[in-house]
């Protein structure tokens, strides 16, 4: 699983010559390689810096340097530290006692919120739940219609009071319908917005206040670059993030944004999206993403 | 949001600045090396790097000219970058320039994509040819070109479904659209614009390379520049593939698309973020 990183590092150590012992200097050369690999995978510059420092602290330890296979030790440290960042998670949604469960979808424009709302509804149905979805996106042309179609494909109900174009009252309407008709989960889709768009962030705060969500899922595009840390950080600061969905993992992006987002919001990744179809949603496996980020 | 510009006095600071803009490790190394050669000790590196990036951007190929009618413009890209929205804005921009665009909805896959585009064409008040859901995108493009000829509309702007460049079958579909267009108008599609999201990281290079290979992309629309992302991967793309940026998207309103201005872009690269 960590073969490529191992290979790259083994190359580094091989180049140093067999007779040479691992020293702080040679560790430094390896760290430079790791740094490059992470930056090429789009992990944020500052996150990489902090990460490499952490690995250095552990790697220059006398025990590591004296060990029989110091190269592999360093690889193991890198892997451990990265898995530690993702936390001890098996993915999916944590159990809650509250009913109905209210899931608020958050994120930048085009990250995959509406599609993920449909995927999640379908996933919940498979878990024996009865979800209802509602769009609060009254701005993007045909956004409500898109969610209605997606809900139909997922075989779940979409709350859509004709003519109601107020995001907050659409969301509270769905809460009422869920209580009256006995739906146990409400997924609230929201319009994409920039983290620096104050007016729309205020709107999001209002929706949150109205529905008091149990889960706030931040949907991040796996292809995101350095900006991931700013956008996720700001959504977390203003409305809070309880879980992350990493979408568009089906491409060939290294997905370093996963690391950036997780280090800035400090909560685990719940799901990864791996396609446009509603069944393309998987509970998160840290090891898969770690090998992806390190895949060289 | 302030527009503060900082001095950049060391190669390390320059490296950080460029990587933070998503220029990428390889392109950053080349730029830093070139700037370092030109700089004298103690120089502010910013003016030098500005000139360096400007020359990279201006070294990209110019937009193609054609005498054929109607001109066919194909809009392609990975999922969610802003293709449909950019078509709406572009139709509006071209109409304001006195052209008579016809918009063709060839995304027959994504839920409500046709309805989304139709609303944009009503806003821009331009011609629209829609597809039947799940019909063959190439067939709609054929219909649209016929319709444009009959109604004397020009150019034809074709919206396509978002697709990852790694999906071979979906990429073949673009090739088919291209062949149908070429049969109907000489040299079509005359422009193939890749819509690139400014928040994208180094995967943008792979997107550009693959879409160029399969669909003959000859320009970029860089969207979502109204956020904090700088879209610096476009610099790496210009350096590697000589692919020029043609337009930039700066919001979700119909007027939020402007022709690319390299100088403004380079200035914005070094503002705010640090
Ligand atoms: N390949 C791939 N495409 C995806 C995935 N998730 C979503 N998409 C596509 O990404 C595009 C944008 O998805 P949407 O669900 O509309 O994104 P959104 O966040 O709701 O967009 P806005 O509401 O405009 O902010 C669509 O073409 C989706 O089909 C995924 O996991 N893989
Ligand atoms: N802030 C901002 N948002 C934009 C810009 N361009 C597009 N968007 C938004 O990005 C989201 C996706 O735009 P679309 O036009 O649907 O993207 P697309 O590439 O057609 O998506 P698919 O067809 O699903 O692949 C929408 O919410 C748009 O309003 C821009 O320049 N700035
Ligand atoms: K910007
Ligand atoms: Mg949406
Ligand atoms: Mg579209």
Atom of ligand 2 nearest to the CA of B110: 24
For residues A125 and A102, what is the distance between their CA atoms, to the nearest angstrom? 15
| Mean pLDDT across B261-265 | 96
Residue bearing the bigger pLDDT, B219 or A90: B219
Average pLDDT for chain B: 94
Give the H/E segment covering residue B139: helix B137-151
CA pair distance A17, A166, nearest whole angstrom? 68
Inform me whether the C-beta atom of residue A251 falls under 8 Å from chain B C-beta atoms: yes
The pLDDT of residue B1? 45
- Please state whether the peptide bond connecting residue B193 to the residue before it is cis, i.e. omega within 30 degrees of 0: no
Mean pLDDT of B42-71: 89
CB of B9 closer than 8 Å to CB of B218: no
- The residue with greater pLDDT, B230 or A293, is B230
CA of A270 to the centre of ligand 5 (A): 27
Question: What is the torsion angle, in degrees rounded to the nearest 10, for the CA atoms of residue A103, residue A104, residue A107 and residue A113?
Answer: 60
Residue B65 distance to chain A (closest CA, Å): 32
Other CB atoms within 10 Å distance of the CB of residue A185: 25
Q: In which region does residue B64 sit, left (phi positive, over 0), alpha (psi from -120 to 50) or beta (all else)?
A: beta
Contacts of residue B115 in chain A, CB cutoff 8 Å?
A: 141-142, 145
pLDDT at A78: 87
pLDDT at A138: 98
Strands B245-249 and B257-259: what pairing? antiparallel
| Residue A292 CB less than 6 A away from ligand 1 | no
d(CA B107, CA A69): 54
Instruction: Note the residue count of chain B.
Output: 274
Question: What are the pLDDT digits (tens) for B109-122?
Answer: 999 999 999 999 99
Residue of chain B whose alpha carbon sits nearest to that of A110: B80
Q: Could you give the CA distance from residue B2 to residue B12 in angstroms, rounded to a whole number?
A: 24
- Are B201 and A276 inside 8 Å of each other by CB? no
Answer whether A228 sits within 8 Å of B199, measured CB to CB.
yes
Is B223's C-beta closer than 6 angstroms to any atom of ligand 2?
yes
pLDDT of residue A19: 42
Reported as a single tens digit per residue, the pLDDT across B147-173 is 999 999 999 999 999 999 999 999 999
Distance of CA A149 to the CA centre of its chain: 25
Report d(CA B245, CA B257) in Å as an integer: 12
Q: Give yes or no for residue A110 CB within 6 A of ligand 2.
A: yes
The closest residue, in CA terms, to atom 9 on ligand 1 is B79
Q: Indicate yes or no: CB of B203 within 8 angstroms of CB of A254.
A: yes
Q: Is B235 within 8 Å of B243 (Cβ atoms)?
A: no
- Cβ-Cβ contacts under 8 Å for A169 (sequence gap 6 or more): none
Quick one: pLDDT at residue B119? 98
pLDDT bracket for residue B64 (50, 70, 90):
confident
Select the residue from B80, B115, B272 to test the A interface by mutation, using most A Cβ atoms within 10 A.
B80
- Chain A's closest residue to B203, CA to CA, is A253
Positions of chain A with pLDDT lower than 50, given as ranges: 1, 19, 296
Kindly state whether A3 is in contact with chain B, defined as any CB-CB distance less than 8 angstroms.
no
DSSP B107: -
Pocket residue to mutate for ligand 2, from B79, B82, B159, B225, most atoms within 8 A of Cβ? B82
DSSP β-ladder status, A243-247 and A157-159? unpaired
Yes or no, beta carbons of A110 and B203 under 8 Å apart: no
CB-based contact, B201 to chain A, within 8 Å: yes
- DSSP, collapsed to helix, strand or coil, labels residue B144 as helix
| C-beta of residue A75 within 8 angstroms of C-beta of residue A4 | no
Taking an 8 Å cut-off on Cβ atoms, the answer to whether B202 and A225 are in contact is yes
Cis omega (within 30 of 0) on the bond before B155?
yes
Q: Which residue has the tokens 């990209």?
A: B60
Which of A146, A196, A223 lies closest to B227 in CB terms? A196
Q: For residue A26, what pLDDT is reported?
A: 77
Angstrom distance (rounded) from CA B144 to CA A224: 34
Q: Answer yes or no: are the C-beta atoms of B182 and B174 closer than 8 Å.
A: no
Contact A45 B226 (CB under 8 A): no
A210 neighbors A236 (Cβ within 8 angstroms): no
- Whole-model pTM: value is 0.96
pLDDT for the residue A6: 67
Residue B201 CA to its chain's centroid (Å): 15
Spatial contact of B243 and B260, defined as CB atoms under 8 Å apart: no
pLDDT at residue B4 is higher than 80: no
Q: How many CA atoms lie within 13 A of B176 on its CB side?
A: 15
Contact yes or no for B111 and A248 at CB 8 A: no
| Phi, psi dihedral angles at A3 (to 5 degrees) | -55, -45
What pLDDT does residue A234 have?
A: 98
Q: What is the 3-state secondary structure (H, E, C) of chain A?
A: CCHHHHHHHHHHHHHCCCCCCCCHHHHHHHHHHHHHHHHHCCCCHHHHHHHHHHHHHHHCCHHHHHCCCHHHHHHHHHHHHHHHHHCCCCCCCCCCCCCCEEEEEECCCCCCHHHHHHHHHHHHHHCCCCEEEEECCCCCCCHHHHHHHHHHHHCCEEECCCCCCCHHHHHHHHHHHHHHHCCCEEEEECCCCCCCCHHHHHHHHHHHHHHCCCEEEEEEECCECCCHHHHHHHHHHHCCCCEEEEECCCCCCCCCHHHHHHHHHCCCEEEEECCCCCCCEEECCHHHHHHHHHCC
- In the structure, what pLDDT confidence band is assigned to residue B227 with cuts at 50, 70 and 90? very high
Cα–Cα dist B274/B192, whole Å? 35
In angstroms, what is the span from residue A79 Cα to ligand 4's centroid? 35
Tell me what percent of chain B is helix, strand and coil, each rounded to the nearest 5. Answer: 45, 15, 40
Closest chain A residue to B231, measured at CA: A225
Tokens (6 digits) for A141: 């042309």
* Nearest ligand 1 atom to alpha carbon A115: 15
Residues 29-68, chain B, touching A (beta carbon < 8 A) = none
Is the Cβ–Cβ distance between A293 and A259 less than 8 Å? Answer: yes
Whole-number pLDDT of residue B5: 63
Could you give the CA distance from residue B199 to residue B256 in angstroms, rounded to a whole number? 17
């Amino acid at each position: 699983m960590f073969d490529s990183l191992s290979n790259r590092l083994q190359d580094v150590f091989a180049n140093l010559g067999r007779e040479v012992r691992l020293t702080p200097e040679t560790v430094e050369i390896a760290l430079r390689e790791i740094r490059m690999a992470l930056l090429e995978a789009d992990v944020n510059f500052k996150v990489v810096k902090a990460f490499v420092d952490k690995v250095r602290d552990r790697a220059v330890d006398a025990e590591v340097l004296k060990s029989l296979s110091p190269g592999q030790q360093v690889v193991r440290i890198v892997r451990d530290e990265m898995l530690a960042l993702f936390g001890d998670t098996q993915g999916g949604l944590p159990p809650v006692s509250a009913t109905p469960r209210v899931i608020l979808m958050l994120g930048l424009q085009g990250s995959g919120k509406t599609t993920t709302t449909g995927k999640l509804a379908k996933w919940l149905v498979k878990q024996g739940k009865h979800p209802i979805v509602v769009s609060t996106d009254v701005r993007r042309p045909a956004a409500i219609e898109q969610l209605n179609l997606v809900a139909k494909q997922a075989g779940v109900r979409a709350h859509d009071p004709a003519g109601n174009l107020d995001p907050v009252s659409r969301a509270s309407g769905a809460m009422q319908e869920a209580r009256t008709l006995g739906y146990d989960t409400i997924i609230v889709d929201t319009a994409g917005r920039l983290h620096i768009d104050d007016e729309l962030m205020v709107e999001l705060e209002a929706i949150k206040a109205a529905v008091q969500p149990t889960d706030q899922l931040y949907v991040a595009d796996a292809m995101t670059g350095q900006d991931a840390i700013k956008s996720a950080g700001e959504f977390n600061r203003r409305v809070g993030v309880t879980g992350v969905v990493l979408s568009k993992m089906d491409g060939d992006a290294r997905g370093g944004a996963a690391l950036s987002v997780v280090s800035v919001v400090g909560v685990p990744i719940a799901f990864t999206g791996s396609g446009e179809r509603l069944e393309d949603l998987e509970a998160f496996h840290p090891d898969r993403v770690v090998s992806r980020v390190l895949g060289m | 949001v302030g527009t503060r510009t900082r001095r950049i006095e060391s190669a390390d600071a320059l490296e950080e600045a460029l990587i933070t803009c998503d220029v990428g490790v390889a392109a950053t190394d080349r730029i830093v090396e070139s700037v370092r050669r030109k700089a004298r000790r103690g120089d502010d590196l910013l003016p030098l790097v500005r000139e360096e990036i400007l020359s990279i951007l201006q070294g990209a190929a110019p937009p193609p000219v054609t005498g054929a009618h109607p001109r066919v413009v194909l809009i392609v890209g990975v999922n969610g970058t802003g293709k449909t929205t950019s078509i709406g804005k572009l139709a509006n921009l071209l109409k304001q320039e006195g052209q008579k665009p016809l918009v063709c909805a060839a995304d027959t896959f994504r839920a409500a994509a046709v309805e989304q585009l139709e609303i944009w064409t009503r806003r821009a008040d331009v011609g629209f040819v829609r597809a039947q859901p799940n019909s063959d995108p190439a067939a709609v493009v054929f219909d649209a070109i016929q319709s444009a000829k009959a109604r004397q509309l020009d150019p034809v702007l074709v919206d396509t479904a978002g697709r990852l460049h790694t999906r071979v079958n979906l990429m073949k579909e673009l090739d088919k659209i291209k062949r149908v267009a070429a049969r109907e108008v000489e040299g079509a599609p005359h422009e193939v614009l890749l819509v690139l999201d400014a928040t994208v990281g180094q995967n943008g290079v792979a997107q550009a390379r693959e879409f160029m290979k399969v669909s003959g992309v000859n320009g970029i629309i860089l969207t979502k520049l109204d956020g904090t992302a700088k879209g610096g991967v476009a610099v790496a793309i210009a350096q590697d593939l000589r692919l020029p940026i043609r337009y930039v998207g700066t919001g979700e309103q119909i007027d939020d698309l402007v022709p690319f201005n390299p100088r403004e872009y380079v200035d914005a690269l070094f503002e705010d973020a640090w």
